Structure formats: structure tokens, C-alpha cells
Chains A and B, each alone.
Chain A
């Protein structure tokens, strides 16, 4: 046994070994557990595995700029779609407001002639009904009511 193997405090723990048996066992273990040798083809197989990994790494590295470019393009396209949607929504709102203004301008004389002093109330009421109808139609579509009705 070398100095590395001294085990201070072992006897104190009541686990003292029979010295002769321990020495014989140590010698037997040394012979029974020799350091395993590397298989002869180990280096060759390792070199092949590393070559495969290197090739894969190279492929990934060369593909990276293309993948990054594609991702940038997709992001730009998404951003453009979003901007288009916002512009369309804004256009619809402005168009709707102009159309409503024009309708009021055209129909106001007739409403005044027909309803007298209540013409403005009637106009506001019509506006509210139209707004509620548009809102309800939008929510009915969004909640999938037509599909639900179709299933029934």
C-alpha cells in the first residue's frame, strides 16, 4: 500500500481490517482490476466522429447567413402586413366618417322637414342603431355564431 491509502480514523470507527487479509486483498485487486486499455480502433473512430461533427458544424455555419436573411425577410414582411392593416383600418375609419357626414348633409333637410325640431334626436338614434348593428355583426362573426348555427 502506498501512503495515499492510509485511512486515518478507520480503527477508531471500529472498522479495522485484518492486516494480512487486507494486504492479500490489495494485491489480488491490483491484479484483478488492471487499467483497461483503449481499444485499438478508438482513435480512428473518434477521428471519424469528429470529422462528421466538423462537417455538420460547417454546414450549419454556411447555412446560418441564409437562415438569418430568411428570418429578417419574414420579419420585414410581417411588419409590412401589420402596417398595411393599420393603414386600411385608418382608411376605413376616415372613409366611414366622410360617408356618415355626407349622408347627414344630404338627409338633414328631409329629416327637418319630416320630424321638425326632433330631427337631430332621430338622426342620433339612427346613428346609434347603425353603430350597434355594425358592432353586433362584427362580434357575431368573431364568436363564430354562423358556424355554430350551421352545426345545429
Chain B
């Protein structure tokens, strides 16, 4: 099922044909199951917050529905869809930044609370390790972090990540390597670089 969906997503000519022959509704119905998860994952990777990601994914899909009749086929359908989703996420990030600037004190308290929440006090060792790893991922430079997160969200498909982030596959590989190298360095700094510690991690 998954491979069928992925295969279909790589060639959207049927969606484009349906759009020309029967209009928006049927084309969108065909497009939605192929892209809704990918758009949601992209929004999750860019925005970090699942609730905001859900809103952004939904708004992106509504925009895609609205703009579908004007899709001219110059870019591939997938690139067009991801561009809309990325732009929507960038707008959300800008809004969040503006909101944070307006209420700095409130934001500081929230981020402090988030930091405290990341300190693993309860749970098994394995759960604590998972929480530590998530914390370290959040410390990575933004590009490396989003590439790494999307890479694992997309079941390690470099080409999918490259398409979603609109960058060459070589760039994705570079960011992935740097992210993992930075993670390894952070683990060494904290004396957590024993591989056996990470083999049993569970979310």
C-alpha cells in the first residue's frame, strides 16, 4: 500500500489529466491520500509543534484545493504542493516569531518550562535516553535538524526529503552528515558516546 502510494506520487500525470478532464474535485480526491501525510510530516519537521503542524497542513491543503485549477504544470505537482506547504509553514514561523517578540517574558517562561519538561526525571533508562536524544536534536542548527527529522519521518528516503525541502540530494546528504556528526559530538561532550547506550532506546 505504502509503495503503491509512493509510486503514484512520483508520477502525478493521472491527477493532472483528471484535473483537465473532470475538474478540481476529482483530481483533489486522488491527490489527497498521496500527499496529506507527506504535507503533515513536512509541517511537523518545519514547525516542531504537532498542533501548529496540523493547522498548517490543513491550511496548505485548502490552499492547494483552491489553487488547483490554476496549476499550470510548469513545476511537478509534488514540488508545487510542497512549495505551498513550506510557504505556509514559513508564514506560521514568522507569526510565531512576531508573537514571541510581543510577549517576550511569556515566551521565556514557556521555553523554561519546556526545558524543565525535557529533563527526564521518571521513566525507564531507555525512555530517558530517548528524551535526551530529542533534547539534543533540538539543539542542532535549524537546517540540519529539519533535514534529520524529515529524513527519519520519510523512512530514510533522501529523494523525498530533497523534494520536500526543495534542495539537491547532495545538500540533504551534507546536512544529514553534519547533523549526525554534531549529535555525536554532543554525546561525547556529555559522556554519552557509548554505542551500547543507544541500542536499546525506545520512544
Contacts and interface: CB of A to CB of B under 8 A. Distances in A.
Contacts, number: 116
A95 B196 CA distance: 107
Majority-rule SS of A interface residues: helix
Nearest to B129: A28
Q: Please classify how large the interface on chain A is, using the bins under 10, 10 to 19, 20 to 34, 35 or more.
A: 35 or more
A12 B88 CA distance: 38
Contacts of B57: 42
B58 A42 contact: yes
Interface stretch (A3-11, A82-90, A96-104, A137-145): A3-11
A36 B198 CA distance: 21
Contacts of B154: 35
A58 to B, nearest CB: 13
Contact of B40 (A22, A30, A42, A50): A42
Among A20, A22, A28, A39, residue most surrounded by chain B Cβ atoms (within 10 Å): A28
B173 A33 contact: no
Contacts of A43: 36
Contact of B177 (A7, A39, A53): A7
Contacts of B181: 15, 17
A40 to B, nearest CB: 11
Interface in B66-80: 66
A23 B65 contact: no
Interface in A1-55: 1-2, 4-5, 7, 10, 15, 17-18, 20-36, 38-39, 42-43, 45-46, 49-50, 53
Interface string B94-131: 00000000000000000000000000000000000110
Contacts of B83: none
Chain B, interface size category, equals: 35 or more
Contact of B66 (A5, A10, A33, A53): A53
Given A4-B156, A18-B193, A28-B198, A39 B134 contact: no
A10 B197 CA distance: 25
Contacts of B184: 17-18, 21-22, 25
A35 B193 CA distance: 25
Contact of B201 (A28, A49, A53): A28
Contacts of A24: 195-199
A66 to B, nearest CB: 22
B193 A21 contact: yes
Interface in B156-195: 156-159, 173-174, 176-178, 180-181, 183-184, 187, 193, 195
